[in-house]
A and B are shown apart, each in its own frame.
Chain A
Amino acid sequence: MIEKIDRRKLLRGTVSLGALTMLTGCDISDRQSVQSVLRTVSGFNDRVQAALFDPNRLAPTYSLAQVVKPPRFNAYYEIENVKPIDISGWKLELSGLIADKRPWSLEQIYAFPEQEEIIKHICVEGWDYIGQWSGPNLKQFLTAIGADLTAKYVYFHGNDDYTESIDMASALHPQTILATKYAGEPIADPYGFPLRLRTAVKLGYKNAKWIRAIEVSNTYEDGFWEKQGFNWFAGM
């Protein structure tokens, strides 16, 4: 008798447990209390990833034959809404913990020693492609402008109200470049002309396109995707 009641209770309990997991129609993910827990864990994961990051470990590189042309477009809007940059009078602005803040013309950037990287671009969504990028090595560039290499963050401000920052260790990684070319040609408009970040050690969204300004700082601020809950470090 007792066993029967227990069994019925158990069955009912199990069924309601199962039903609970199916009730994600009223997803709690964006509740403030839940978000604060999830974002705290994401912040902890930033520190874990920084500890896992080996500044000397190189990402795999690929052959010319594996390069995908054209590269894959991605932004927070569709490709037809890309607003090409008016290149007349374009300058790269510099701010923050930098000794020489004079803006750079495109000619000056093109004259800077070029580094080529055939690396994988991996998007947080799960797709990837192999691309051939070239432009100034970021560490050399930061050194040339007298940036404080002991600062914590390097910010990249895009022309489309898109800001993303990376940690200094990743900025100084040998496979982090300010790309001006794809497959040997100036990067086409939809992929970030005239200047974008390409680093082999971060997910796609950290690679700001259409860069108009670079800032070196010790102050943390959420970038475009972090505001929406994506992880900041986004290391590979």
Chain B
Amino acid sequence: MSVANADLVTHAAAPRMHPLILRLMHWTNAGAMIIMIMSGWKIYNDEVIFGFLHFPEEIVLGIWAQHALQWHFLGMWILVLNGLAYLTFGVVSGRFRRLLLPISPREVIREAIAALTFRLKHADLTHYNAVQKTLYVGVILVVILQVISGLAIWKPVQFSYLTALFYNFQGARLAHFIGMTAIVLFLLVHVTLALLVPRTILAMLTGGPRVETDHAETAAPIPPTSNL
């Protein structure tokens, strides 16, 4: 059919949902995050905040605290530079506006209930539901806060005004710990859902479905898979 062929031509020319630059930034961030979290656990073990909580040596990065600190202050650069590139790209390309906004509270509640009862569909990869939008926007904000509390711990004199935002040095440590916890919880949900819908992982590796630039709504619907 000629109509279908015309359609195909348009879609062949259309960009993919996850452009290469974004995929590179996503996996760079994943690596930096793993380094930061695991080395952070080792640093935490040197002076625990909660007596009942020590991270097992099997899941930390660094044999001694100094190794963990070395990793942490290497990962810091990867995380921050890559993160700034990501935020710039998200704003300038309109990706944030297109994929993450607007968020309707009513939809969030409705879809959260649907998700918890396993009735939430994710057939169209190019459109994020309200729960996804909330989680993504939330984790981006937490990571930004994590960088701020990290700077407050790293330089409590040069950046004393940042440390004061968290009451004092120990407050900044606690905030940094809570931020880590939030990021780890996000990761558990994020990875679990990705494994449940493996096409999302494939999309983050190869680019995923082609989309129209101005509005993702007109993107070719993905045929629903039978075994989901």
Write the residues of chain A forming the contact surface with B, with a CB cutoff of 8 angstroms: 3, 6-7, 10-11, 14, 18, 21-22, 24-25, 27, 29-30, 37-39, 41-42, 45, 49, 52-54, 57, 59-60, 120, 122-128, 200-201, 225, 228-231, 235-236
Residues of B within 8 A of A124 (CB): 65, 69
Cβ contacts A to B, 24 pairs, < 8 Å: A10-B201, A10-B202, A11-B195, A14-B194, A22-B59, A24-B57, A24-B58, A27-B62, A27-B63, A29-B61, A37-B74, A38-B71, A41-B70, A41-B74, A41-B77, A125-B46, A125-B65, A126-B43, A126-B44, A128-B169, A128-B170, A201-B157, A229-B70, A230-B69
When distances are taken between beta carbons in the complex, the residues of chain A under 8 Å from B38 are: 21, 24
B201 touches A14 (CB 8 A): yes
Interface pair B69/A29, CB less than 8 Å apart:
no
One of B66, B70, B198 near A7 (C-beta < 8 A) = B198
**Residue of B with least CB distance to A38:** B70
Residues of chain B contacted by A225 (CB below 8 angstroms): 66
B67 within 8 A of partner (CB): yes
The verdict on A54 contacting B70 (CB below 8 Å), with A10-B198, A29-B63 known, is no
Asked if residues B70 and A57 are in contact (CB atoms below 8 Å), the reply is: no
B113 at the interface (CB under 8 A from A): no
CB distance A22 to B58 under 8 Å?
yes
Contacting pair A11 B70 (CB below 8 A): no
- Do A39 and B70 form a contact, CB below 8 Å, given A11-B198, A24-B38, A228-B64? yes
Q: How large is the interface on B (under 10, 10 to 19, 20 to 34, 35 or more residues)?
A: 35 or more
Chain B residues in the interface with A (C-beta under 8 A): 34, 38, 43-44, 46-47, 57-71, 73-74, 77, 155-158, 160, 169-170, 173, 191, 194-195, 198, 201-202, 225
User: Does B169 contact A25, Cβ atoms closer than 8 Å?
Assistant: no
Contact B155 A235 (CB under 8 A): yes
Q: Which residues of A contact B73 (CB under 8 A)?
A: 41-42, 45, 231
Complex: chain B residue closest to A21, CB-CB: B34
A236→B195 contact, CB < 8 A: no
* Cβ contacts under 8 Å, B160 to chain A: 57, 59-60
**Distance between Cα atoms of A53 and B155 in the complex (Å):** 9
* Closest A residue by C-beta to B75: A41
| Partner among B43, B62, B202 whose Cβ is within 8 Å of the Cβ of A29 | B62
- In the complex, the answer to whether A6 meets B69 with C-beta atoms within 8 Å is no
Docked Cα-Cα span, A230 to B194, in Å, equals 38
Instruction: Choose among B67, B191, B198 the residue that contacts A30 (Cβ–Cβ < 8 A).
Output: B67
B200 to A: closest C-beta gap in Å: 10
Q: In the bound complex, do residue B66 and residue A236 qualify as a contact, i.e. CB atoms below 8 Å apart?
A: no
In whole angstroms, what is the CA distance A200 to B202 when docked? 52
Q: How far, in angstroms, from A126 to B58 measured CA to CA in the complex?
A: 22
Cα distance A127–B173 when bound, in Å? 10
Cα A232 to Cα B61 in complex, Å, equals 21
